Each structure stands twice: as C-alpha cells, then as structure tokens.
Structure 1
Amino acid sequence: MDVTLRQLRAFAALARTGSFTRAAETLHITQSALSGLIKELETQLGVRLVDRSTRRMRLSDIGREFHAVTTQVLRDLDNAVDNINNLKRLRRGVVRIAAPQLMSSTLIPEVIAGFHASHPDIDIRLLDCAVENAISQVLRGEVDIGIGPQREGLTELAADPLFDLPFMAVFPATHPLADKKRIRWADLMQYPLIALQGQFTERLALDLNNQASVHGLHPTHEVAFMSTALSMASAGLGITACLPYALSLVKLYGLQARLIHTPEVRRKFFVYSRLHASLPPAAEAFVNYLHQHVRQTDWK
C-alpha cells in the first residue's frame, strides 16, 4: 500500500472544510487535482472515504474513522518537523560537555556565557572532572564532546585541534624567579615544585628528559587539581606550572605567570567526539563558538 503524504493532506483538508473547492484553495491546487488525490487514496485503501452527490459531500463511516487517525498522524509529523527545525535553528537543544576541572573553572564558563547570550534556549550541561575522565566520558557516550590533551590510541574518537600552548611557571610576586629575564626548567628545579598527580608529571618528566636532558623531575608536592597547586603556591609552599588558559585563575590567587624556556614544553588540546557520529546542531554550534573564542583570546 503506497499512501502518500499529499493524499493524506488532501483528505484532511477536505474533511476539515467540507468542500472540494475550499479544500483545493487551502492547498493551493486545482479542484480536479484534489479530486484525483482523494480517488487515488480510496483506491489505495480499497474503501470509499467520501460520499459524493451533486449537492453535498460528506465522509463515509470509514472516512470519519480514518480522518481521526489521519489528523493524529499529520499532527505528529508536523510536530516532528517543527522540532527538527527548532534544533536546526538553535531554538532548543542540549549540549553535554566534559572538561578538565581547571578548564571548567577558567575557559569554559566564559565560553558558555558568550554562547548563551546568542542562544539562550540551548541547555549547556558541563561535567567538570579529571583530565582523563573528560575523554572517557565521550567514549562511554555520556557527553557529546570532551575537551582534553593529546592522547594516543583513541581510534574510536574524532579529535578536533583546539589549541597548542606552552607551559608557564607560576609563583608569588616576591619569589626569586620574578627577577629573572628568562626562566628555564632548570631554574624551577631549584625550588619546591607542586605538580599534578599521574600523567601530568609523567609526561612532563619524559618531555624534559627528551628535549633538555633534564633528568629526575621530583615534585615536592603532588596534588589532584591545579586549583590546589595554585593555592599552595599562593601560600608560599612552592611553585607550579600550568598552561596560559588558566591565567584568570592564576591572577585570582595573586600569582605571576611567566613562559618557561629551554625547552619550551607545549601541550595540545582537542575537542573529542565520537567517530562517524554527527554532532547535534546545538553541539556543533557550541564547538564552532569555542573555536572562535579561543582564536580571540590574548593568551593563545
């Protein structure tokens, strides 16, 4: 049975207006075209839907029953199309993001606020977590996008480059490092160092060993979150290192940040999403806005 949408709309218009002439006018077709669509529909169904006479038109018993079903089908279809249009036009939608805790307390709120100003009907749901969890959340399908550093072996994810930034030394304004014109990694090793646990310190040690033959990175303190490291540095318990996107938080703790030379160790961050899976329109728009925001920052 090959019932078409045009046939259903023609029948619905006829039932609503009670007139072939008025139904044809509402659909902007000729009366003969409307009659043809009704006849085609009746032929497809094998029943008479409309009882015709020279003076009047009325629905048959089956026609009245079919009209109730047709009205619901068309209403559901129109609602579905309207819903898709609203998603495309960013009048509604949900964006689920996973980002490291440090980024979630610095860069991402700025981006969410700017995006929300242009798209107030989009619901942004941020999951702040450990760095590695931001990527695993995408793998599990619990978020649309995750923001995290470069990692190998992520064959199930698409990686969209976001930024490539150098490490900066972070210390109080009264610290001896503030008097140096150029700060080297070897300079940092002379003072108590506060670093992050896990891959942060492991990868940093490997980079320093490969690029500058700086052996044995031995932090005095290892903590889970950079906000803790900054707080400890502010209290005079040591110095730390972070990326420039966290400068707003560095300043909030009353600390200074300077680029570390010899070598310049950098970190690449990506926007991760599921490979071969299209992002919802709202998530795609958010990613585009995120890139635009990063391009306009003064720390990049």
Structure 2
Amino acid sequence: MPLDITLRQLRAFIAVLDSGSFSEAAQTMHLSQAALSGLIKELEGRLGVRLLDRNTRSVGVSVVGSAFEPMARRVLAATEDAVQSVTNLKDLRRGLIRVAAPEPLSCTLLPELIAGYVERYPGVDVRFDDVPIEQVLSNLHSGSSDLGFGPAGVLADDAVEAHMIRVDPLWAALRRDDPLAASDSVSWQDLRERALINYMPNLALNVLSHVPQRHHPGNVVPVHRVNTALALLKFRPGYVICPSMSRSLVEGFGLAFLPLRQPAVTWRIAIFARQRDALSPAVESFLDYALDMAATWDGSRPTPKTKQHHNK
C-alpha cells in the first residue's frame, strides 16, 4: 500500500460503505459532503482505481472496492488495537515489570512490595527473579530486568541510577539455647569466638570494615543463601548477620534475633533503575510506588514527589 494513503481516507471509504450514502457518511465523520468526497477522490487517485460506483440516486462499491474493503477494515482495526494497547500501557491497565533482587530482600521486602503494587494495578504483570547481587546490575544492562534491588554499596554507572530507600541496622541471629539469646542485644565482641555463618558477598568491605579489627569473627563459614545460613545455624553453634527487616524470616527458623551493637552497622538498600526516560509507564509507576512506600519505612526520609498514575 502506498505510504501516502491516510487513515482518514480509509475511514471515509468505510463510512460510505457502512451508510450507503455520502451525506450520511459525512455526518458520521463530522465533515461536509464536499470534504468527504475529496477524501474518496484522493484515495482512488492514490490507488489508481475506482472504489465506488456513483450515480445521482445511489452509491455502491466497485469490484475492486469490494476486494479492497476487508483489507481497509483490517488496517483500521489493527490501528485501533495498537492505540488501545498503548492507552492500556499508559493507564497501567496492562504492562510488564521484571524485578531482580538478592536474598534476604527476595524473601522479606519484595513479596510484600510486589503484592501491594499488584493489588493497586491488577492488570500489570510483575515478574520477580531471585538472583545473586552481582547479577542485579548485569540483568539491568542486558535488559532482562527493568528494576533491581540490593545493597547501595553496589556501584551504579551512567546508565543505571541508584535510589536509596532504606537504612536498616544489622542484627544477629542466634540459636535459642545460646547463652547470649537471653540478652536484649549483643556486641561484636560478644560474638568474637563464635563462627559467623555468612551469606553476604563483600562481607569485609560492606560490614567488617565498620567493625574494629579486634572484634572481627575468628571463623567465617561461607554459604550462598540466607536460608542456608539460617538452616545451618539450627544445627551448629554460631551466628548469622541479617538486616533487621529479616526478623520474621529468622524467627520462622525458630532462632533468636537481637540488635547487634558496639558498633551498630547499617545495611543501605537501593533500587537500581535505568534513566527515567528509558522506563515504560508500568516500570516508572512501580519505581514511584516503591519510593512512596520507602517513605513509610524510614520516617527520616521525606516523601518523594512522584508522577501520579490513575488506574482507569
């Protein structure tokens, strides 16, 4: 089909066929009859064929026009579908969001956050990928994830922005038969002789660099997942460090969970996202939703100004 054929010309042709009259078709399209006739003539001129047979009393479709009609209707229907699809995406009646996060965020913060968003926008499909922290940024760069969550210490770059959403103190999980479990809190010095069952990558940089050397754990048992660390702690002496938000997870393993002090060390959590002008409406709305929710987690953080979306 020539590229200079317009949708307005096709609509005029279909309007004449549906009404059987130039005058009624002109009224339907809110045009003068002369303007409608001009659109039909332009269309026939572009195609180089007569689509309509006209006389003083009636108008009918030509043989070529009859063959052209279903194609014209398909073009108009496809255009309407495309416009409706974009409208649905814009109004958050449809959309896809792919989120990546490591433990313990994947089994503490993210399920509730995603559930709250989906309740507000049930037409949007939120897909969650539980990945190691080092894979969060690589997923964003490859396009396999739209948003990532993780420790704010992970470096972003020019293509990825880090939005800090929470500062969470680290606590210590202990067996309930550990003598320290009866305390209100524990110190790094208290734990010095116990084995640290560690799932955190970059423990030395992100955690122990804030703790005096003399209080560093004498024995570190490495594992890959927080659930593995907590399950292992049930059957051997030691302790596991988790952000305080992990309390329900830790207690679900039947363990004690105490504030870790002297010194208190925090875990800074961020959302990683591409620049806003590269985000779809659904992804941008999820980012705004998460930032709004973050204001309720940390009262010291001002409520962000966000673009308002309305579910129509």
- Shorter-chain TM-score tier: 0.7 to 0.9
Aligned mate of 1:146, from 141, 145, 148: 148
2:306 corresponds in structure 1 to none
Offset of residue 37 of structure 1: 2.4
Matched, 1:160 2:169: no
Matched, 1:221 2:224: no
The answer for unaligned runs of 5 or more in structure 2 is 301-312
Aligned mate of 2:180, from 177, 182, 197: 177
The answer for unaligned runs of 5 or more in structure 1 is none
2:303 corresponds in structure 1 to none
- 2: CA distance between counterparts of 1:246 and 1:197? 14
2:18 corresponds in structure 1 to 16
Deviations 1:144-169 (A, max 9, x none): 11111222253432222222222122
Aligned mate of 1:98, from 97, 100, 108: 100
Offset of residue 56 of structure 1: 0.9
Q: Structure 1 counterpart of 2:109, which letter?
A: L
What SS does structure 2 have at the residue aligned with 1:101?
coil
2:133 corresponds in structure 1 to 131
- 2: CA distance between counterparts of 1:203 and 1:180? 26
1:262 corresponds in structure 2 to 262
Larger deviation: 249-258 or 75-84?
249-258
Taking a change above 3 Å as real, the CA distance of residues 169 and 110 of structure 1, as seen in their structure-2 partners, is: same
Aligned mate of 1:60, from 39, 42, 62: 62
1:193 corresponds in structure 2 to 196
Contact 2:103 2:225 in 1 (8 A): yes
- 2: CA distance between counterparts of 1:231 and 1:295? 33
What SS does structure 2 have at the residue aligned with 1:134?
helix
- 2: CA distance between counterparts of 1:292 and 1:247? 23
- 2: CA distance between counterparts of 1:119 and 1:143? 19
Taking a change above 3 Å as real, the CA distance of residues 219 and 88 of structure 1, as seen in their structure-2 partners, is: farther
Q: Indicate the percent of aligned positions where both proteins have the same amino acid.
A: 36
Taking a change above 3 Å as real, the CA distance of residues 161 and 153 of structure 1, as seen in their structure-2 partners, is: closer
- 2: CA distance between counterparts of 1:235 and 1:25? 82
Larger deviation: 258-267 or 5-14?
258-267
What SS does structure 2 have at the residue aligned with 1:295?
helix
Offset of residue 45 of structure 1: 4.2
Offset of residue 75 of structure 1: 1.0
1:35 corresponds in structure 2 to 37
Contact 1:10 1:23 in 2 (8 A): yes
Offset of residue 63 of structure 1: 2.9
- 2: CA distance between counterparts of 1:190 and 1:257? 18
Matched, 1:117 2:93: no
Offset of residue 138 of structure 1: 1.6
Larger deviation: 94-103 or 27-36?
27-36
Q: Structure 2 counterpart of 1:168, which letter?
A: W
Contact 1:135 1:148 in 2 (8 A): no
What SS does structure 2 have at the residue aligned with 1:263?
coil
Q: Structure 2 counterpart of 1:292, which letter?
A: D
Larger deviation: 21-30 or 123-132?
21-30
Larger deviation: 116-125 or 238-247?
116-125
Offset of residue 192 of structure 1: 2.5
- 2: CA distance between counterparts of 1:42 and 1:223? 73
Offset of residue 249 of structure 1: 0.2
Q: Structure 1 counterpart of 2:278, which letter?
A: S
What SS does structure 2 have at the residue aligned with 1:167?
strand
- 1: CA distance between counterparts of 2:215 and 2:252? 33
2:307 corresponds in structure 1 to none
- 2: CA distance between counterparts of 1:273 and 1:54? 65
1:51-90 alignment runs, 5 A limit: 51-90=53-92
Offset of residue 41 of structure 1: 3.0
- 1: CA distance between counterparts of 2:184 and 2:133? 32
